[in-house]
Amino acid sequence: MIKPRSSFVDTDIIRLHYLEWDPAQLNTAQEQSQEWDNDNIPLILLHGLGATADTWHLVAGRLYKHSPVIAFDLRGHGLSEQPETGYDLVNIAEDVVHGMAALGLGQVALVGHGWGDVWPWPWPRAIPRLSAILCSSIARMSSHAIGLE
C-alpha cells in the first residue's frame, strides 16, 4: 500500500489540506495488470464530523488502483484552515467545489460517510459534471430530499 501525497490547495475562500492517492504510483506489473477498465474519474472522499482525510486511508489504499483518489480535510478539520465562521453546509460544500476547481478537476464521483454524506446532496444541480454520489446513508435519503424529483 502506498503512502498518500499530502498537499494544500489555496482557493479564494479557504486553504484546504488534502491527501492524494494516484494510480500512477503503482510500481509493480502485477498491480498494474489488476486495474479495472475505468475512465479515471477522480474519487473525492468526504470525511465525517470530527474526522480528517486520513479516515479514508484503508479504503483509499484499495481504490487508488482504479482511479485517482483525493480526500480533503474539510473546513476546521485536520490541517485545513480553521476560520471562526462558515461551518454551515453551504460554505463547506463551496469549499470543496472551489478546492476541486483549483486542482483542475472536471468530472468527479463523491464518496462520503457520516456528516460527509449529508451536505453534498444539493450538488447534482451545482456541479453538472458530477458523476455519482456514493454515501453510507444513501438508503435514508429520498429523491425529494436530494433534489432529484
Per-residue pLDDT at 130: 52
Nine cell digits for residue 98: 472551489
Residue 45 has pLDDT above 80, yes or no: yes
Q: Which residues contact residue 112 at a Cβ distance below 8 angstroms, ignoring those fewer than 6 apart?
A: 45, 46, 47, 48, 118, 120, 133, 134, 135, 136
Residue 46 CA to its chain's centroid (Å): 5
Per-residue pLDDT at 139: 34
Reported as a single tens digit per residue, the pLDDT across 86-142 is 988 788 888 988 999 999 998 888 888 776 555 555 555 555 455 555 555 433 333
Reported as a single tens digit per residue, the pLDDT across 1-19 is 688 999 999 999 999 999 9
Nine cell digits for residue 81: 484552515
Spatial separation of the C-alpha atoms in residues 104 and 121, rounded to whole Å: 22
Q: Which residues contact residue 5 at a Cβ distance below 8 angstroms, ignoring those fewer than 6 apart?
A: 19, 20, 21, 22
Q: What DSSP element (H or E) covers 124?
A: helix 123-126
At residue 70 the predicted structure's pLDDT band, cuts being 50, 70 and 90, is very high
Reported as a single tens digit per residue, the pLDDT across 47-68 is 988 899 999 998 898 888 888 9
Q: Are strands 15-21 and 69-72 parallel, antiparallel or unpaired?
A: antiparallel
* Residue linked to cell 474539510: 74
Stronger pLDDT, 94 or 76, i.e. the higher one: 76
Spatial separation of the C-alpha atoms in residues 135 and 120, rounded to whole Å: 10
Q: Which domains are assigned to the chain?
A: 5-140 (3.40.50.1820)
